[in-house]
């Protein structure tokens, strides 16, 4: 497998659009996203038809390369999209794009938004160009004269231009919160990706990709090797999952997707997993889906495990309060979700004060949170935030074999305990 990276001086420069275009143009390619991003991978999957995998050593631990090693068995190319700006980390651990590209020896393309720049574009960009940079993409230029002013400095300093993308509203993707708009993005990128690729020197980009060498001999995992039936919520309200988590679950049983919005259930499931998303945007329909809520509560009463993250946590509470209205949710955990305009986002490190279906007492675990809500509850969470906000500095509500948190976790790293619980419950059915 060959590998190529895409980065930019700052977020909002167009690196996601360029990454998608390259992935679309390269045959048998896979997309890899640096950092804990859920939204862009959903759009990528809609455009390419393949899962996008995250690479994040904070969340995945020292084995963050394992998934890439496996992907190298079945793909000809990997396109790695960086996070934020090239050097941005914002963490006590270096999780910048530059770190990964350097450690994995990934050649990269720098995307430069020149909409408010001319000759200065080169002088701003040169701090992001090192020996692994194979060239730049000039993005968002206004007309031939503007392009000429921008590119002359790059060419004069020997920097190859591998793409020139004009300002075109038809190539723009509406953003929502910190990522691409999920609803419009999925459909638009199917049309936009091939159009953007026409502005790129794909022959040169293909030649510039480097051969990726796995760290050790890679043995492909087998198909489902377990008897479990695992129900995963997936619809417009719940769609934020790490692909590696879903792969992990698939290795332990049959994953069946269900839609809480559509009032669906999986009555014989051994485990329920409800990820993040936008439940607040669909609170009316979720409130009306009585069948799904009754099934979840019955599943919980039977002692079978339930794991919920962020949006899933919100859904399992009593109520979501937003814009003066209150909507009844599942009620597995007592408390009220209050919608806020201010975002809470960042990596989390948590100490486990009390054992749960997910973690042992004394464990230190690493995750990520991204939410526009707070929770009012008298319950005592099982985790304490060393880093992060959670529920007033704590996280991880537990009740029997149910666990719900604001933090997202990679089940590839932390899921073995809940699988063992699901297997025990399955034998007791």
Catalytic (active site) residue 310: yes
pLDDT of residue 69: 92
Domain 2-211, CATH number (from 3.40.50.1820, 3.30.300.130, 3.40.50.300, 2.60.260.20):
3.40.50.300
pLDDT of residue 38: 72
Question: 247-265: buried (b, 16+ CB within 10 Å) or exposed (e) per residue?
Answer: bbbbbbbbbeebbbbebbb
> pLDDT, tens digit, for every residue of 216-261?
776 666 555 678 999 999 999 999 999 899 999 999 999 999 999 9
- Considering the chain, tell me which residue range(s) the CATH 3.40.50.300 domain(s) occupy: 2-211
Are 154 and 123 in contact by the 8 Å Cβ rule? The answer is no
> pLDDT, tens digit, for every residue of 256-289?
999 999 999 999 999 999 999 999 999 999 999 9
CA dist., res. 326 & res. 420, Å (int): 37
CA distance between the termini of the chain? 45
pLDDT for residue 180 is more than 50: no
Q: Look over the chain and give the mean of its residue pLDDT values, rounded to a whole number.
A: 92
- Mean pLDDT for 160-173 is 87
User: According to the CATH classification, is domain 228-428 in 1.10.3720.10?
Assistant: no
pLDDT for residue 176 is more than 60: no
Residue with tokens 């669909």, as numbered in its chain: 282
Q: How many CA atoms lie within 13 A of 240 on its CB side?
A: 26
178 alpha-carbon distance from chain centroid: 12
Residue with tokens 């669906």, as numbered in its chain: 264
What are the helix and strand counts (H, E) for the chain? Answer: 15, 24
Instruction: Spot the catalytic one: 133, 225, 310, 352.
Output: 310
pLDDT for residue 179 is more than 60: no
- How large is the angle between the packed helices 39-48 and 15-25, nearest 10 degrees? 30
Are 8 and 112 in contact by the 8 Å Cβ rule? The answer is yes
Q: How many CA atoms lie within 13 A of 48 on its CB side?
A: 28
- Mean pLDDT for 79-107 is 96
Question: E strand or H helix at 277, and its extent?
Answer: strand 276-277
pLDDT for residue 121 is more than 80: yes
Backbone angles phi, psi at 145, to 5 degrees: -65, -45
> pLDDT, tens digit, for every residue of 320-359?
999 889 999 999 999 999 998 899 999 999 999 999 999 9
Question: 225-236: buried (b, 16+ CB within 10 Å) or exposed (e) per residue?
Answer: ebebbbbbbbbb
Q: Which two tokens stand for residue 14?
A: 């167009």
- Considering the chain, tell me which residue range(s) the CATH 3.40.50.880 domain(s) occupy: 228-428
pLDDT of residue 178: 43
Q: Among 57, 53, 30, 28, which residue's Cα sits nearest to residue 40? A: 53
pLDDT of residue 46: 66
Please, which pLDDT band fits residue 169 given cuts at 50, 70 and 90? confident
pLDDT for residue 185 is more than 80: no
> pLDDT, tens digit, for every residue of 143-156?
999 999 999 999 99
pLDDT of residue 186: 58
Please, which pLDDT band fits residue 191 given cuts at 50, 70 and 90? confident
């Amino acid at each position: 497998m060959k590998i190529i990276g895409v980065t930019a001086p700052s977020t909002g420069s167009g690196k996601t659009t360029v990454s998608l275009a390259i992935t679309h143009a390269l045959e048998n390619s896979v997309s890899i996203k640096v950092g804990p991003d859920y939204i862009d991978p959903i759009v990528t999957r809609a455009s390419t038809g393949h899962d996008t995998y995250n690479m994040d050593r904070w969340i995945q631990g020292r084995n963050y390369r394992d998934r890439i090693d496996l992907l190298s068995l079945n793909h000809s190319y990997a396109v790695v999209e960086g996070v934020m700006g090239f050097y941005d980390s914002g963490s006590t651990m270096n999780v910048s794009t530059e770190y990964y590209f350097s450690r994995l020896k990934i050649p990269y393309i720098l995307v430069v938004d020149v909409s408010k720049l001319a000759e200065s574009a080169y002088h701003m960009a040169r701090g992001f160009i090192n020996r692994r940079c194979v060239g730049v993409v000039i993005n968002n230029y206004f007309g031939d004269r503007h392009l000429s002013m921008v590119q002359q400095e790059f060419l004069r300093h020997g920097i190859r231009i591998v793409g020139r993308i004009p300002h075109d509203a038809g190539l723009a993707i509406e953003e929502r919160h910190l990522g691409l708009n999920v609803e419009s993005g999925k459909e638009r990128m199917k049309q936009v990706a091939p159009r953007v690729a026409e502005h790129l020197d794909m022959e040169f980009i293909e030649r510039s990709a480097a051969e990726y060498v796995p760290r050790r001999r890679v043995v492909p995992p087998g198909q489902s090797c377990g008897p479990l039936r695992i129900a995963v919520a997936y619809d417009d309200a719940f769609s934020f999952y790490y692909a590696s988590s879903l792969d992990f679950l698939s290795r332990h049983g049959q994953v069946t997707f269900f839609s809480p919005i559509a009032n669906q259930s999986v009555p014989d499931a051994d485990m329920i997993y409800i990820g993040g998303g936008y439940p607040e945007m669909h609170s009316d329909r979720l409130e009306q889906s009585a069948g799904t809520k009754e099934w979840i509560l019955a599943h919980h009463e039977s002692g079978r495990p339930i794991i919920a993250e962020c949006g899933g946590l919100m859904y399992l509470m009593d109520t979501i309060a937003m814009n003066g209205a209150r909507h009844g949710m599942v009620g597995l955990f007592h408390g009220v979700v209050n919608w806020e305009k201010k975002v809470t986002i960042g990596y989390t490190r948590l100490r486990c004060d009390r054992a749960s279906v997910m973690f042992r007492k004394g464990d230190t675990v690493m995750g990520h949170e991204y939410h526009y809500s707070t929770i009012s509850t008298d319950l005592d969470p099982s985790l304490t935030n060393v880093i992060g906000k959670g529920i007033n500095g704590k996280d991880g509500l537990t009740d029997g074999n149910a666990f719900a948190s604001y933090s997202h976790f990679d089940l590839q790293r932390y899921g073995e305990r809940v699988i063992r619980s699901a297997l025990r419950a399955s034998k007791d059915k």
